[in-house]
Chain A
């Protein structure tokens, strides 16, 4: 997707935020409620064994096969420096579409449980104060209240913003010395 298209996509998302016309999938993590843009949600799966990636950060649990594509799975608790919770049959993996360095990727995030879908029109969105947790704060796009509950709205593209992977460097080698004259 071109840079322009991504920007437009993001601007549209933010505009929705302002208007309150968006829908959010909410999930629960360590007793907090979070919400993410429903348009970015590709599917919701139960937890299954993943293949470890060697020498990867702790919060990268591994990769799984989703219909023939290799998708990395991240443990959000560990990413947010929260206490690890062992996985059970009820553990849920949300597969979301994120944009990283101009490229669209599918990733899975492990959460405790999935909740309702909230309609932007029903919630009040305010800009967030400092949450006191660096990793979460930089991913927050807003704070919403719904039926007296506080829901932290997350920008999925900023969720995993550290370059935990070395930049895609498999570009074709341009061997100037073997070029035709």
Chain B
């Protein structure tokens, strides 16, 4: 039967990537010299598993590469090799190479064999050099049977098989072995029972029989000895060639247990060649990432506990439902109370179930944070800076989609801190700061949101520099009225960069606005604050889950819309003196110190018969999106509730101004507003609405 191995590949890749993470974390923790036994063992096991799986499932390049890593790790865990920082670095680089090899294998792209070979050479150099007495364990060679067969045609074999008394304790069955022999050809056997003791002293767990077996087929001796492979040490065995039905030697020379001698090869006597460990420059990048699947696309690991509690809850729901069903069958008004009770139970169970299901998609944010120790380690040494990374709140649970999408923006922000925030050690000391800078990554739950903060104790943002750059690039016309915070947030504007030189780490001027847009697309918000000379802080707020939204219902004419609560700043009743008509058509209103545009919902959405057409008669919902603020002019505010987000794209397509839809309690559909999109739409339709504030 042939089994298609491909069905196991997915799991193999998943666990291999996890294994790589374990290796990387372990290697980062490792200190040269002392090797914590359990730590290094877990790194070894991870490499060993990857190698084994790769070999089994046919990824030979991966297997061969990992083998060298495994060998090095094996020596280190056995104590045969001291742990050097050189070795750790080489292994860390190898983890990178291996990761790429695995990704290419998973995507079916070409493997960068040159890079792998080069890195392998680096590892092999370490293995060969630096004077540790490495014993190359050569293949075991069998000592040849002492009885020499004369140069005559072999017609068969005589096998003398004397199992030791304790052979059964190894789970080996002599009959099984003889059965196997019989598969090689015809056999005749003679059983020797002479050693069977009296019943009185008979040990039922011991074995007392032996055989002479004649195999009349001229097979390879190897085939015979292979059959006895497992029991070599548990029996006395002689395999004697038969030539023309005559035994070669008269005496039955029984060699007690065919011995295998492991030839210990010479110590690698080569002079410890100065293995120059040069970081392997990836000369040829593996096939373009266009072909790669997005990481974490298909599956998710879930605690069985979560599944169990889910099953329990569904059970409760079923009970409540059947109870209600029975009530409904024979209902009269006297049973109203029971009905209400049942309904509230239903509500409770449904809510619990909903929370539980959302829980399933929740993973600790450590999945995202885990890449940062390595990042900071590598970049800080590259830049010659001393930086310590503190991660707090790694166990904070976040929706799986958030985990996937927040990674890249966070990387960019951390890189920024590393590059522009933290100063060179000498500068820090000169400023009276500790030589080692600190970056903190903090995750927490605050009021239905995930809050992720990045703090650094670097030199902070240069307000004046930002302002002048913004003016220079035409991002703003005049900065005289801006608060410090507003100035700092200019860095999120497109086309902005204050880097003196564009370092290869960040600062190309296309980063921060994309970061902000990514975060908005996740339904979140981002803020930045700074104290000159002391450091900066970035605060990102994200919704707990992407499938559910806290919304405020609003009414315009006959239509109901949902405004995401996270976008709402406040709702006000505009007073006439607050509202200005500009250029005869557009309206703005004054909120504290700002003049914000009014979006007439019924105009932008083409709604007939709105209840109010004068802004001061209706309500203004002040919202924020994509860095800008505006007021939505609506007829009425309805309730606030959690809504389930349903896709419009599945069966229809994109609706400008809406991010999706939801189903209200009465079964009807309501659109969920996309504030930045709405603002764009409004600008498009009625440009006069959006004159920049004077």
Q: Tell me if B652 is interfacial: C-beta within 8 Å of chain A.
A: yes
Tell me the smallest distance from the CB of B588 to a CB of chain A, in Å: 23
Q: Which residue of B lies closest to A164 (CB)?
A: B653
Q: Tell me if B559 is interfacial: C-beta within 8 Å of chain A.
A: yes
For B646, list chain A residues within 8 Å (CB). Answer: 68-70
Contacts A54-B657, A173-B518, A177-B514 given; does A70 touch B652 at CB 8 Å: yes
Contact with B along A74-99 (1 / 0, CB 8 A): 00000000000000000000000000
For A148, list chain B residues within 8 Å (CB). Answer: none
New A-B contacts (6) at CB < 8 Å, excluding given A177-B412, A178-B408: A49-B668, A54-B671, A55-B605, A55-B681, A164-B653, A177-B510
Q: Tell me if B515 is interfacial: C-beta within 8 Å of chain A.
A: yes
A71 touches B651 (CB 8 A): yes
B294 touches A64 (CB 8 A): no
B669 touches A51 (CB 8 A): yes
Tell me the smallest distance from the CB of A79 to a CB of chain B, in Å: 15
For A107, list chain B residues within 8 Å (CB). Answer: 651-652
Tell me the bound Cα distance from A52 to B604 in angstroms: 13
Q: Tell me if A30 is interfacial: C-beta within 8 Å of chain B.
A: no
* A-B interface contact total, Cβ < 8 Å: 106
Tell me the smallest distance from the CB of A63 to a CB of chain B, in Å: 5
Tell me the bound Cα distance from A181 to B511 in angstroms: 15
Tell me the smallest distance from the CB of A158 to a CB of chain B, in Å: 17
Q: Tell me if B257 is interfacial: C-beta within 8 Å of chain A.
A: no
Q: How many residues of B contact A (CB 8 A)?
A: 44
Contacts A170-B649, A172-B405 given; does A177 touch B669 at CB 8 Å: no
For B504, list chain A residues within 8 Å (CB). Answer: 181
Q: Tell me if A133 is interfacial: C-beta within 8 Å of chain B.
A: no
For A54, list chain B residues within 8 Å (CB). Answer: 604-607, 655-658, 671
- For this complex, 25 residue pairs linking A to B, each with C-beta atoms less than 8 Å apart, are A51-B559, A52-B559, A53-B655, A53-B671, A54-B605, A54-B657, A55-B606, A55-B656, A63-B652, A65-B668, A65-B669, A69-B650, A70-B646, A70-B647, A70-B650, A106-B651, A165-B652, A165-B655, A166-B653, A173-B514, A173-B521, A175-B412, A178-B408, A178-B409, A178-B514
Contacts A52-B559, A70-B661 given; does A175 touch B408 at CB 8 Å: yes
B652 touches A72 (CB 8 A): yes
Tell me the smallest distance from the CB of A57 to a CB of chain B, in Å: 12
Q: Is the interface of B mostly helix, strand, loop or mixed?
A: mixed
Q: Tell me if B386 is interfacial: C-beta within 8 Å of chain A.
A: no
A178 touches B651 (CB 8 A): no
Tell me the bound Cα distance from A12 to B364 in angstroms: 49
Tell me the smallest distance from the CB of B521 to a CB of chain A, in Å: 7
A69 touches B651 (CB 8 A): yes
Tell me the smallest distance from the CB of B411 to a CB of chain A, in Å: 6
Q: Tell me if B473 is interfacial: C-beta within 8 Å of chain A.
A: no
Q: Tell me if B670 is interfacial: C-beta within 8 Å of chain A.
A: yes
Contacts A52-B559, A54-B604 given; does A177 touch B511 at CB 8 Å: yes
For B606, list chain A residues within 8 Å (CB). Answer: 54-55
Contact with A along B633-657 (1 / 0, CB 8 A): 0000000000000111111111111
Q: Tell me if B291 is interfacial: C-beta within 8 Å of chain A.
A: no
Tell me the smallest distance from the CB of B198 to a CB of chain A, in Å: 77
For A69, list chain B residues within 8 Å (CB). Answer: 646, 650-651
Q: Tell me if A168 is interfacial: C-beta within 8 Å of chain B.
A: yes
Tell me the bound Cα distance from A62 to B652 in angstroms: 10
Q: Tell me if B517 is interfacial: C-beta within 8 Å of chain A.
A: yes
CB within 8 A of B654: which of A71, A165, A172, A178? A165
For B683, list chain A residues within 8 Å (CB). Answer: none
Tell me the bound Cα distance from A61 to B217 in angstroms: 86
Tell me the bound Cα distance from A168 to B371 in angstroms: 32
B514 touches A72 (CB 8 A): no
Contact with A along B508-540 (1 / 0, CB 8 A): 101100110110010000000000000000000
A175 touches B656 (CB 8 A): no
Tell me the bound Cα distance from A178 to B507 in angstroms: 11
Tell me the bound Cα distance from A119 to B690 in angstroms: 60
For A175, list chain B residues within 8 Å (CB). Answer: 408-409, 412, 514, 518
For B670, list chain A residues within 8 Å (CB). Answer: 51
CB within 8 A of B653: which of A51, A68, A165, A178? A165
For B604, list chain A residues within 8 Å (CB). Answer: 54
User: Could you tell me which residues of chain B, from 393 to 413, have a CB within 8 Å of some CB in chain A?
Assistant: 405, 408-409, 411-412
Contact with B along A132-174 (1 / 0, CB 8 A): 0000000000000000000000000000000011111110110
For B649, list chain A residues within 8 Å (CB). Answer: 168, 170
Tell me the smallest distance from the CB of B555 to a CB of chain A, in Å: 13
For B655, list chain A residues within 8 Å (CB). Answer: 53-54, 56, 165
Tell me the smallest distance from the CB of B548 to a CB of chain A, in Å: 14
